[in-house]
């Protein structure tokens, strides 16, 4: 019996949540691209997540975590190991006065909408940002001059060998679209945010304005993975790509969005290879014209 079959059987016996074999990851990414995960498991609790990691470590197989699949481009051949998807079972929500404690699998859009309607301010900037709380913390998601780190107090992280530890905001070493979790991989189990009370109507109006702006200027109604490149500040990737005349350029089923240059959309049947060819074209063109190196914000996942 090979290692993956042993892992599959152990996960099922441990009753840790839903387990699927050879699950197409195109069903779990916002750009609708990605080959199969050898095993995809959705933990139903923190304790189940710890058991999953223990089984993975015992059998020494590769693994990775996903949330709601935004900011992710998965190889056409899929992922050979175990994919842990944080969703239901990892989406607790507890609000006490101004302190919010929320699970890593909670939808960021849902969270921002709910908190705003409760008259709490601090997360309006994230109106319309897709993905999970855990993914937003991992990437220090932000918009409109603010980001997750401005309201986060601490994060409960499960590290590879089973260590469960609270990290403070300072220990997370946040910077532009970066956190320590990109250097020292771990799973965001829970997060604590410190919010402030304010005028409910103005908070909701601000959040909705940000959401509408995102909807009007970014192609989220089409399958896409979010911003492809980090902004090479003070320049902006989208402006450089547009100035290079690349908007609307296609490779296979992938297209540089005509709405926003820093987005690649799946216009039908796109493959990861199509997207990667467009990424390479953008990098080459912007470097040739402006001498600027663009670096991807989207995480490209191979086997």
Q: Are residues 185 and 257 in the same domain?
A: no
The residue from 149, 183, 217 where one domain ends is 217
Q: Are residues 127 and 190 in the same domain?
A: yes
Q: What is the pLDDT of residues 221-259, one digit of tens each?
A: 999 999 999 999 899 999 999 999 999 999 999 999 999
Domain contains 106: yes
Contact (CB, 8 A) for 62 and 41: no
Q: What is the CATH number of the domain that holds 105?
A: 3.30.465.10
Domain contains 45: yes
Residues 6+ apart with CB under 8 A from 187: 49, 53, 65, 84, 86, 104, 134, 157, 158, 159
Q: Are residues 80 and 99 in the same domain?
A: no
Q: Are residues 144 and 201 in the same domain?
A: yes
Which range marks the domain in which residue 270 is found? Answer: 237-301
Domain contains 41: yes
Name the domain count of the chain: 3
Q: What is the pLDDT of residues 22-51, one digit of tens each?
A: 999 999 999 999 999 999 999 999 999 999
Residue 222 annotated in active site: no
Q: Are residues 187 and 259 in the same domain?
A: no
Q: What sign for the dihedral angle of Cα 91, 100, 53, 72?
A: positive
Q: Are residues 117 and 169 in the same domain?
A: yes
Residue 160 annotated in active site: no
The residue from 67, 85, 103 where one domain ends is 85
Q: Are residues 113 and 187 in the same domain?
A: yes
Q: Are residues 103 and 204 in the same domain?
A: yes
Q: Are residues 100 and 210 in the same domain?
A: yes
Residues 6+ apart with CB under 8 A from 284: none
Residue 227 annotated in active site: yes
Of 177, 179, 190, 244, the active-site residue reads: 177
Q: What is the CATH number of the domain that holds 73?
A: 3.30.43.10
Q: Are residues 80 and 172 in the same domain?
A: no
Q: What is the CATH number of the domain that holds 278?
A: 3.90.78.10
Q: How far is CA 101 from CA 5, 54, 124, 148, 199, in A?
A: 36, 26, 17, 14, 22
The one-digit pLDDT tens for each residue of the chain (303 residues) are 588 999 999 999 999 999 999 999 999 999 999 999 999 999 999 999 999 999 999 999 999 999 999 999 999 999 999 999 998 889 999 999 899 999 999 999 999 999 999 999 999 998 888 889 999 999 999 888 889 999 999 999 999 888 899 999 999 999 988 999 988 889 999 999 999 999 999 999 999 998 998 889 999 899 999 999 999 989 999 999 999 999 999 999 999 999 999 999 999 999 999 999 999 999 999 999 999 999 999 999 986
Q: Are residues 110 and 162 in the same domain?
A: yes
Q: What is the pLDDT of residues 96-106, one digit of tens each?
A: 989 999 999 99
Of 179, 227, 244, 257, the active-site residue reads: 227
**Spatial CA neighbour of 7 closest among 30, 31, 42, 38:** 38
Q: Are residues 212 and 149 in the same domain?
A: yes
């Amino acid at each position: 019996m090979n290692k993956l079959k042993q892992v599959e059987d152990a996960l099922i016996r441990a009753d840790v949540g839903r387990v699927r074999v050879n699950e197409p990851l195109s069903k779990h990414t916002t750009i609708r691209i990605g080959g199969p995960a050898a095993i995809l498991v959705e933990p139903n609790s923190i304790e189940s997540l710890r058991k999953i990691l223990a089984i993975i470590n015992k059998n020494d197989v590769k693994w990775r975590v996903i949330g709601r699949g935004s900011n992710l481009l998965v190889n056409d051949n899929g992922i050979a190991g175990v994919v842990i998807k944080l969703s239901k079972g990892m989406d607790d929500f507890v609000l006490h006065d101004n302190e919010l404690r929320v699970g890593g699998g909670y939808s960021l859009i849902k969270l921002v909408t709910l908190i705003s309607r409760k008259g709490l301010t601090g997360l309006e900037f994230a109106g319309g940002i897709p993905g999970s709380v855990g993914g937003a913390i991992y990437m220090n998601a932000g918009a409109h001059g603010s980001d997750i780190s401005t309201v986060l107090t601490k994060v409960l992280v499960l590290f590879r060998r089973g260590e469960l530890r609270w990290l403070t905001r300072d220990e997370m070493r946040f910077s532009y679209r970066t956190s320590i979790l990109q250097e020292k991989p771990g799973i965001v189990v829970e997060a604590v945010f410190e919010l402030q009370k304010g005028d409910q109507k103005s908070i909701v109006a601000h959040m909705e304005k940000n959401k509408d702006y995102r909807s009007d200027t970014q192609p989220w109604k089409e399958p896409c993975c979010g911003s492809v490149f980090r902004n090479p500040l003070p320049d902006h990737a989208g402006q450089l790509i547009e100035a290079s005349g690349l908007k609307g350029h296609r490779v296979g089923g992938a297209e540089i969005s005509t709405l926003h240059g820093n987005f690649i959309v799946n216009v039908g049947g796109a493959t990861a290879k199509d997207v990667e060819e467009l990424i390479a074209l953008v990098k080459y063109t912007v470097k040739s014209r402006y001498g600027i190196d663009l670096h991807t914000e989207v995480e490209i996942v191979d086997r």
